[in-house]
Amino acid sequence: MTAPYSRIHLVPETGSTNADLRAQAANWPEGDWLRAERQTAGRGRLGREWRSPDGNLYASTLIGLRPGDPPVTGLGLMLGVAVHAALSNLLPAAALHLKWPNDVMCGPAKLSGMLLEREGDCIVAGVGINVTQAPMLSDRPTIALADLPGGSGMTARHVLEALVPAVDHWLALWRAGGTSAITKAWLPRAHPVGTRLTVSTGTDRPQTGHFLGLDPDGALILGHDDGTESLVHSGDVGIL
């Protein structure tokens, strides 16, 4: 395996690293990463703008889908586990946890988010991590690595060089063990069973309930106050 830094392509500025890799998917080396020091049109899940102040990590990689691969529904969870594992290794004193499907949180504040998009027979996986600055958002608290114990000297390059082998490891585990292997790693890193959640799918009124776990495909199982359950395959989850 080549050193992480040799697989990272750095540009000073771009609109979106995900958009760039989607445009270059036919020729981009699988496992290489594109990192931008600044993004002018970064996007998060559900079409949200991803604020991109200087000093934070904005990077994307390409995952080629192979015959016999498990269902791609597990890749979002896989990426969340990989980012959580890499950041926890860098900052062992930080109490980080995952919020479904793959936000990395510290308490109620968001530290990292991801966006996965399909392009032909590939998945473009984008990662944004607040390294030096936490963008001010009106609808949710945020935090940066610099705000956490041991995080004041972190750089985006340092973080990505730790993330590259973590993604390699967890991607190989997904291919070998399927989504079930990933959910076993995801659950102990996440908010505990019984946590009160609100779920918005963007079409109906938000649902409120409690976290019951994940189904075999990685969907969130939401328990309702009337004793019924529902599966959430996509949506925006908040912790109450």
Is residue 15 pLDDT above 70, yes or no?
yes
- Same domain for 177 and 67, yes or no, is yes
- Same domain for 213 and 184, yes or no, is no
- Same domain for 164 and 94, yes or no, is yes
Compute the mean pLDDT over every residue in the chain, rounded to the nearest whole number.
92
- Same domain for 8 and 90, yes or no, is yes
End-to-end CA distance of the chain: give it in Å, rounded: 43
Task: Tell me if 174 sits within 8 A of 182, measured CB to CB.
Answer: yes
Pairing assessment for the beta strands 33-39 and 8-14 based on DSSP bridges: parallel
Task: Report the distance separating Cα 122 and Cα 105, nearest Å.
Answer: 28
- Same domain for 159 and 93, yes or no, is yes
- Same domain for 125 and 163, yes or no, is yes
- Same domain for 66 and 153, yes or no, is yes
Coil, strand or helix at 195: coil
- Same domain for 224 and 149, yes or no, is no
**DSSP code of residue 84:** H
Say what the pLDDT of residue 137 is: 79
Number of domains in the chain: 2
Strand order in the sheet with 220-223: 229-232, 220-223, 207-214, 196-200, 236-239
- Residues forming a β-bridge with 210: 196, 223
- Same domain for 12 and 124, yes or no, is yes
Residue closest to 81 by CA, chosen among 65, 59, 104 = 104
- Same domain for 76 and 170, yes or no, is yes
- Same domain for 222 and 162, yes or no, is no
- Output phi, psi for 92, to 5 deg: -65, -20
CATH number assigned to the domain comprising residue 110? 3.30.930.10
Q: Report how far apart, in Å, the C-alpha atoms of 22 and of each of 38, 97, 119, 233 are.
A: 18, 29, 6, 24
**DSSP code of residue 145:** G
* pLDDT confidence bin for 49, thresholds 50/70/90: low
Residues of the domain holding 225: 196-239
More confident position, 110 or 3:
110
Structure tokens at 238: 């908040």
Tens of pLDDT, residues 109-124 = 999 999 999 999 999 9
